[in-house]
Chain A
Amino acid sequence: MKHLRFLLVGGLAAAILVFASTALAADEPILKIGGTTYTKVLWGNMLYDGSVYNFTTVPGEGYGDNGQGSEIELLLSARLSRQVEVRGRLHSRFNQNEWTNFGGFGGRNPALENPPNGDCVGGDCGEWDPRSNQYVKLRGVTVILTPGYKWINTATLGANDFGMFDPFVVGKIRYIDRDNGSGYLFQGSLFQKKLAYDVTRIALPRLWAGPDYLTGSYTGGDAAYAAQLKLAGSSKVDLAGIYEYAHDVETNSIDRNLKNGQDSRTRFMNQVFGGRIAAHPDPKIDITAAAYGSFANSAGDILASESGTQYTLVTGNATDADKKLSRFGGFNGYSPVVAGRLFGQSYKGDVSLNDPFGVGLSFQAEGFSISPRYLSIMAARRESDVLLTEGWDGTFAFPGPTNAKYGIFGGFGNQTSIGYGGWDGNMQQVATLNVDNEFTDFDEPAAETVIGWKGVTIVPQWGKGNWQFSGEASFIGYNTNWQAWGDDKHSLTNPIYPGTELDAGVGHNFRSAYAPFQDRKTQIYVANAKTVLEAGKGVDVFGKFKYIKDKDDRMTDPRFLPYQPGDCPGGGVACTGAVNDYYDDGTNAFSTSSIYGNPPVLGTGYQWKPFDSVSDDDRDLKYWMASVGAGYQLTNDLYGSVAFEHYNADLVDGNTAFQAYQLQEMAGGKHLKNKFRVKGRYILGGIEMGLEYQYNFGSFEPDFGTGYVVQIADNSISQQHHVAVGSRGFSGRFGGWNSIERQYFQQQQLKAFWKVQF
Chain B
Amino acid sequence: MGPGARQRRAPLLHARAARRLARGLVRRTAIAVFALAAALAIGTPPPPAGAAAAPIFKLTDPRGDDHGDGSLIYPDRDDLKPGDLDLISFSARTEGDGTLFEATFARPIRKPARHPVDEGGTSLDWIARFGFYTFNLDVYIDMDRVPGSGETAMLPGRRAEVDSAFAWERAICLTPNPYEAEETLKRFWFNAARERAKQTTPHLDDATEDSLRQAVAADVKKRILFPTRVRVSGSTVQFLVPGSFLDGPARAGWGYVAVVSGADIVQRLDLGTTVGLKKKPVPSLMLLPVKTGRSREAFGGGRSDDALEPPLIDILVPPGAKQETLLRDYDLRTGRPVRLPGVVPARAER
Contacts and interface: CB of A to CB of B under 8 A. Distances in A.
Contacts of A633: 179, 228
Interface in A670-705: 679, 681, 683, 685-688, 690, 703, 705
Contacts of B332: 24
A352 B108 CA distance: 9
Nearest to B158: A16
A320 interface: no
A718 interface: no
Interface string A435-476: 000001101110000000000101011111111110101010
A516 to B, nearest CB: 20
Nearest to A605: B3
Contact of A21 (B216, B305, B335): B335
A444 B116 contact: yes
Residue of B180, B196, B229 most packed against chain A (CB within 10 A): B196
A23 interface: yes
List 3 A-B pairs, minimum CB-CB distance, nearest first. Answer: A707-B4, A686-B269, A354-B234
Given A8-B189, A235-B64, A283-B235, A758 B271 contact: yes
A487 B82 CA distance: 48
A282 to B, nearest CB: 10
Nearest to A635: B179
Contact of A637 (B179, B229, B235): B179
Nearest to A532: B229
A12 B192 contact: yes
A361 B12 contact: no
A757 B268 contact: yes
Given A24-B335, A283-B235, A458 B33 contact: yes
B203 interface: no
B294 A146 contact: yes
Contact of B45 (A82, A467, A705): A467
Q: For the side of the interface on A, what is the size category? A: 35 or more
25 contacts: A5-B219, A10-B196, A11-B194, A11-B196, A12-B153, A16-B153, A19-B280, A24-B307, A144-B293, A146-B292, A163-B78, A232-B82, A354-B234, A359-B41, A362-B233, A425-B114, A462-B40, A463-B232, A469-B40, A473-B33, A532-B229, A631-B129, A655-B4, A681-B126, A706-B6
A637 B177 CA distance: 11
Contacts of A462: 37, 40-41
Interface residues of B, number: 105
Contacts of B282: 19, 22-23
Nearest to B179: A636
Interface in B180-232: 180, 182-183, 187-189, 191-197, 211-212, 215-216, 219, 228-229, 231-232
A88 B104 CA distance: 40
Interface in B29-82: 29-30, 33-34, 36-38, 40-41, 44-45, 47-48, 63-64, 76-78, 82
Interface of A: 1, 4-5, 7-8, 10-24, 26-29, 32-36, 38, 40, 71, 73, 82, 94, 144, 146, 153-154, 163-164, 177-178, 187, 232, 235, 280, 283-284, 286, 352, 354-355, 357, 359-363, 383, 385, 425, 428, 440-441, 443-445, 456, 458, 460-469, 471, 473, 475, 521, 523, 525, 532, 537-538, 540, 553, 570, 609-610, 612-613, 615-616, 618, 620, 631, 633, 636-637, 639, 652, 655-657, 679, 681, 683, 685-688, 690, 703, 705-708, 753, 755-758
Nearest to A154: B294
B4 A705 contact: yes
Given A232-B82, A357-B41, A36 B118 contact: yes
